[in-house]
Structure 1
C-alpha cells in the first residue's frame, strides 16, 4: 500500500478494512478550529463518500452565534444552503481513545458547483499554498505549540489553577525546562505520546515552559496543510488525554493571571521546487534577498493580520511588555524579544519564526495568514527595517492592543484580502464582531472591584 500521504479512496477503504473500523468521525474545522461534522457508520461513509452540512457551520463564532444582518449575508446564503463535504483520504487517523474501532477523517468544503467554499479555513490555506506553487515554491513550516494543564474547573467565575501532579502537590513556581516538572505528569504524557503514535502525528520534543503547568510541544517541519491538520488533531488529543487524567488542557492565550501567555510560534521557510534549495539562502550561504523581503512582508502586514493571529479578546492579554510575548514587529537574529526572529541555523535550514501568533489561533488560518504576509513581502519587494540587536521590549508597541482595533486594521488591508480572499475576510471579521459584542455584555471582577464604589 502507498504512503498515507498519497492515499486514494480505494487505499483509504483498504486502510479502514485493515483497522476493522466500524465508525467514521467526519470532521470539518470551523473558524475557531473546533471539530464540526457527523459520525457515520462505516458502510454509510463508503456509500456516500461525503456528506452535507449547512455552510454556516464553518462560519460561526466560538459562542455558536451568527450575525443577524450585514455583509456576512453577502457571502453566506440567507437560505442556509448546504456545503458538499468530501473526505481527504490523506487525513485519516484512528481515534485511539474510542471504545470501538473508529477513524477520523477531515473533509474539505465545496459548493454545489464543485468549488471550494472560500471562507472555510482549510480552503484558505489551500489557496495560499497554491499561490506559492504557482511561483515554483514549496512553503515549509514547523509550529511550536504552548498550552497549560489546569485543574478541572466547572465554574467559569473561578480562576484557573495548576493541577496536582504525581507528588500530590500543584506547581506554585515557574519551572522552565524542568524535567522533573514534566515528570509530575508522566502518566498523562505517556498517553499523549501513545495516542500521537497511533495517529501518526509527527510530534518532536516536549518541554516544560515558563508558566506553572505550562507545556510546549514541537512539530517536525513539513507542508503547511498537513501540519495544520496535525495541530488540529493534537489539540483534540491532548484535551481528551487530560480529561482522562482528571484535568483540563487549555490553549487559551492567557488562561491564568500573573502567568505567561501561550503562543504558537511558527518557523517558516521556502524551498525552490526545481532545485530543492532554500530560497532564503544564497549559494554562498548568506541570507538571500527573498529572506529580507519575507521579513519585510511580515513587518508590513502582521499588524493588519493580528485578528487572525490573536482572534479573541483574551488573546491581547498575552501581548504585554516583558511577558515572554512580543509587542512589536522588530526582527532580529537569535533574539526572543522580537516579534520576528531568525534562529541560528545553517544555510540549508535558514528560516524565520513568527512569535506573534497565539496558541488560541486556528492553525489553518494562522498558517495561511503568516505565509500570506511573507508572500506579499517577496512579491512587493518590501525591505525590512534594520535588525534589532537589543531588547525589543524597550521599543514602542507596534501591534494592535485590542480585538476591535485589530478587526479595523484587517478590514482596511486590501492586499491581505486579495490573497486570503475577500469573502473569507468578510465572514471572519463579521463573526468576530459578534464575539466581541457578546464579550462586552459581561461585567468583569476588575470592574466591580475598582469601579463599584470609586467612580
Structure 2
C-alpha cells in the first residue's frame, strides 16, 4: 500500500472511489474519505454485486443460492496499486482505485471479470508467453435524450448544426466537437490513459479512439475507465456518448476491435513470426482457435440483446469468422505490418462488451488454438460475407448463450461458477427485455391486427 498511499498524499486526494467491474462492466463500489480508505486498506462488498444484471436485478433464486452463500456474505476487495486513476471532472480531489476481489481465505472470487482475465493471462505466463493488445473503441455522440422511446439524433456541433450523412474520416466533422474532445484528451492524459488516434467513423456522429498497444490487464483497466471518462466529458458539453453496439437504426454498429499478438517473455520476440519473417505455425493456430472457439465465447464479446443488432444482414459489421490480409470484411483481419509487429485484429467484439471479458475471451480462443494445434481455414480474398467457408456465428443472444452453456471447453477454462453465473445474468437480462413492449409493436400492431 505504500506506493498507493504516497500517490494519494502527493496528489492531495481527499476522496477515493473504490471500484470493481461487475459482469456488465458497470463500476460498483464505495466512495470513502481518503483517511478512512488508508486505515481500512480496501473495502468489502456483498457477493451478490457480481450477479447483478444491467437493470440492477438479480438472477433466479435457486441459481443464486447455488453460486453464493445464502447469508449474502461479503468478499474482500484489495486495491491494485497499478490501477489508480485521477478523476479530473470532480469538485473534490478524487482518485478512482480498481480493486481485486478475494474470499476470506484469500482465494480470487471466480465471478469477478478482472479475476477471469488474470486467470487467462496466467495460462500464457505458464507457457512463457505474454499477450500484447491494442483496443479500438467506437462510440456515438448523441443529443441528450430523456425519453427512451424516442430515437437518438446527432448532437449540435460548433457550427450550430447537426451532422447529417456519412462522414468517414472527415477532419471537419470530427472538429465539430473539438471542445469535448479537448477535455477528453486532457482528462485521459491526467489519468494516464494511453489513447492515440481519434477518427470519425462511418456513422453519423460516430467516432473511434485507438489505444496504444500494451499489457492486456492494464488496457482492460484503461478501457473500463475510458468509457466513464468519455461519458463525463460529453455530459459537460451537454451531449451524450454511448457505447451501445447498435444505438441508431440504419446506422453502423459500434465495435471494440482488439489487435492482439503474443511475445516470448524471455526473448521479447513475436511468436507469430518465424526467424525468416514468415507467418509462424503458432500464428496460424491462433487464428484457428479464434475461428473454432469464438462461437462458444461470443456472449463475452456480444453480451446484450442489442449487441446482435450489429450483426444483422446488410450491416457493415463483419458477420463471419473468416480471415485475410488487410481485409476489413473479415471478422479476423491481419493488418499490414512488419514481421515483429505481426498481429490479428478481432473485429467481432462490440463496444458494449465488458473490456475484461472481451479481452479474456479473445485471448483464450487464441491460446486454445495454439495448444490444440487448430488449423485455420483458407484466407479470404475479396468480400468475406460473400465467400464464407462454413464457419458461422450465433445470431441472437439466446442462441449464443445456449452454445456457451453446452461448451465443455468454456467450463474447463472459465470454471462452472463463472460460466453458470455469467449465463444466468445474461438470461435475466434477456427475460427483462422480453417483458418490454417496443415502439415498433405499438406502431405497426396497435391498430392493425
Indicate whether the TM-score tops 0.5: yes
Matches within 5 A, 1:81-96: 81-96=73-88
Select the residue among 373, 378, 384 that pairs with 1:392: 384
- Secondary structure of the residue that 1:148 maps to in structure 2? strand
Select the residue among 34, 43, 53 that pairs with 1:51: 43
The answer to whether the aligner puts 1:380 opposite 2:372 as a matched pair is yes
Give the CA deviation at 1:151.
0.3
Answer whether contact 1:28 1:58 (CA < 8 A) is retained. no
TM-score by length of 1: 0.96
The alignment of Structure 1 onto Structure 2 pairs a total of residues equal to 447
Answer whether contact 1:22 1:42 (CA < 8 A) is retained. yes
- Secondary structure of the residue that 1:92 maps to in structure 2? strand
Matches within 5 A, 1:239-388: 239-388=231-380
Determine the C-alpha separation between the residues in 2 that align with 1:363 and 1:162.
26
Task: Give unmatched runs, 5+ long, in structure 1.
Answer: 1-8
Determine the C-alpha separation between the residues in 1 that align with 2:307 and 2:159.
32
Determine the C-alpha separation between the residues in 1 that align with 2:313 and 2:282.
30
- Secondary structure of the residue that 1:25 maps to in structure 2? strand
Match of 2:425 in 1: 431
Match of 2:436 in 1: 442
Match of 2:137 in 1: 145
The answer to whether the aligner puts 1:404 opposite 2:408 as a matched pair is no
Match of 1:129 in 2: 121
TM-score by length of 2: 0.98
Answer whether contact 2:330 2:384 (CA < 8 A) is retained. yes
The answer to whether the aligner puts 1:160 opposite 2:152 as a matched pair is yes
- Secondary structure of the residue that 2:286 maps to in structure 1? helix
Determine the C-alpha separation between the residues in 2 that align with 1:195 and 1:142.
20
Give the CA deviation at 1:453.
4.6
- Secondary structure of the residue that 2:104 maps to in structure 1? coil
- Secondary structure of the residue that 2:61 maps to in structure 1? coil
Determine the C-alpha separation between the residues in 1 that align with 2:367 and 2:413.
9
State the superposition RMSD in angstroms: 1.1
Determine the C-alpha separation between the residues in 2 that align with 1:131 and 1:76.
26
Determine the C-alpha separation between the residues in 1 that align with 2:387 and 2:270.
32
Match of 1:4 in 2: none
Give the CA deviation at 1:15.
1.2
State the Cα deviation string for residues 338-368 of structure 1 (Å, max 9, x = none): 1111111111000011100000000000000
Give the CA deviation at 1:132.
0.4
- Secondary structure of the residue that 2:260 maps to in structure 1? strand
Determine the C-alpha separation between the residues in 1 that align with 2:28 and 2:397.
25
Answer whether contact 1:147 1:359 (CA < 8 A) is retained. yes
Matches within 5 A, 1:5-84: 9-84=1-76
The range that moved more, 50-59 or 345-354, is 50-59
Task: Give unmatched runs, 5+ long, in structure 2.
Answer: none
The range that moved more, 355-364 or 388-397, is 388-397
State the Cα deviation string for residues 64-116 of structure 1 (Å, max 9, x = none): 11113233432222221101000001111111111111111000110111111
Select the residue among 215, 221, 228 that pairs with 1:223: 215
Determine the C-alpha separation between the residues in 1 that align with 2:140 and 2:261.
28
- Secondary structure of the residue that 1:146 maps to in structure 2? strand
Answer whether contact 2:48 2:72 (CA < 8 A) is retained. yes
Match of 1:202 in 2: 194
The 1:72–1:374 alpha-carbon spacing in structure 2 relative to 1, beyond 3 Å, is: farther
Match of 1:5 in 2: none
Give the CA deviation at 1:395.
4.2
Determine the C-alpha separation between the residues in 2 that align with 1:316 and 1:51.
37
Give the CA deviation at 1:452.
3.6
State the Cα deviation string for residues 29-53 of structure 1 (Å, max 9, x = none): 1111111000111111111101110
Answer whether contact 2:60 2:424 (CA < 8 A) is retained. no
The range that moved more, 255-264 or 319-328, is 319-328
Select the residue among 405, 416, 421 that pairs with 1:422: 416
The answer to whether the aligner puts 1:104 opposite 2:64 as a matched pair is no
- Secondary structure of the residue that 2:428 maps to in structure 1? helix
Structure 1 ranges of 4+ moved more than 6 A: none
Determine the C-alpha separation between the residues in 2 that align with 1:320 and 1:344.
28
